[in-house]
Amino acid sequence: MEKNLGNYRKSYEKSELLLKDTPENPIELFRSWFNEIDVHFPEDETNAMTISTIGLNGFPKNRVVLLKKFTYEGFIFYTNYHSEKGKAILNNPKVCLSFFWAGAERQIIIKGEAEKIAKNLSDGYFESRPRGSQLGAIVSNQSEIIENRAILESKLKDLELKYEGKEIERPDFWGGFIVKPVEMEFWQGRPNRLHDRIHYKLNSDFDWIKNRLAP
């Protein structure tokens, strides 16, 4: 039986976002929101973000990854450079990130360009990972077709024996990307679908211009 989704309704009433209350640099607002979610909405996975890329076939694709660091320069995550996602980024570095924190009725959309981070930074993060995660990065030929899960589990056992008592080095095909933002939009849910949307755009002088958008 077809389900009627037209009656799904929710009134967003938890907060507001006024232009006059926003900082000149959007990273400062991102940091403030991120910290608030981390403290007050533990049910949300604060650093989970959707990244959208344009694939080699010309189609856009979204998937959820984990933000591992952010600075005034940009947003850093890690992946297999040979994966579908990695190949798409290396072919077309223009990407979009989005965060949705349902508990706070907030959303952030970030447009930017991605580039590989320095190898020593990827090395440092890889060293900080649990051994299981380190081995998992080596085991998986990410995005490639495999016959069954048993292949992965067997390969993992072999690598556990190979690296027993040894340091695991980061493979060259795995590392970080930093997304350097050129546009950021902050969305706060409001009643009657009159949501607050504050948009920042980086100009040629590397200053941020901010405006309110109609919902």
pLDDT at 97 over 70: yes
91-95, 100-104, 158-162, 189-193, range with the lowest pLDDT:
158-162
* Residue 9 confidence (pLDDT): 82
pLDDT at 5 over 90: no
Maximum alpha-carbon separation in the chain? 60
Q: Where are the alpha helices (DSSP H) in the chain?
A: 26-40, 84-91, 119-128, 131-139, 149-162
pLDDT at 128 over 70: yes
- Of the candidates 175, 215, 176, which has an alpha carbon nearest to the alpha carbon of residue 199? 215
Mean pLDDT of 162-175: 95
* H or E element, residue 186: strand 174-188
Q: Are 164 and 147 in contact (CB under 8 A)?
A: no
pLDDT at 210 over 70: yes
Q: What's phi and psi for 210, nearest 5 deg?
A: -120, 145
Mean pLDDT of 112-127: 98
Q: Is the pTM of this model over 0.85?
A: yes
Confidence band for 1, pLDDT divided at 50, 70 and 90:
low
Set 170, 193, 197, 212: catalytic member: 193
106 is annotated as an active-site residue: no
* Residue 58 confidence (pLDDT): 97
Percent of the chain residues past pLDDT 90, beyond the cut: 86
pLDDT at 143 over 90: no
pLDDT in tens, 173-186: 999 999 999 999 99
* Residue 185 confidence (pLDDT): 98
Give SS3 for 60: strand
* Residue 42 confidence (pLDDT): 85
Question: Which residue ranges form the domains of the chain, and what is each CATH number?
Answer: 19-118+178-213 (2.30.110.10)
pLDDT in tens, 17-52: 999 999 999 999 999 999 999 999 988 899 999 999
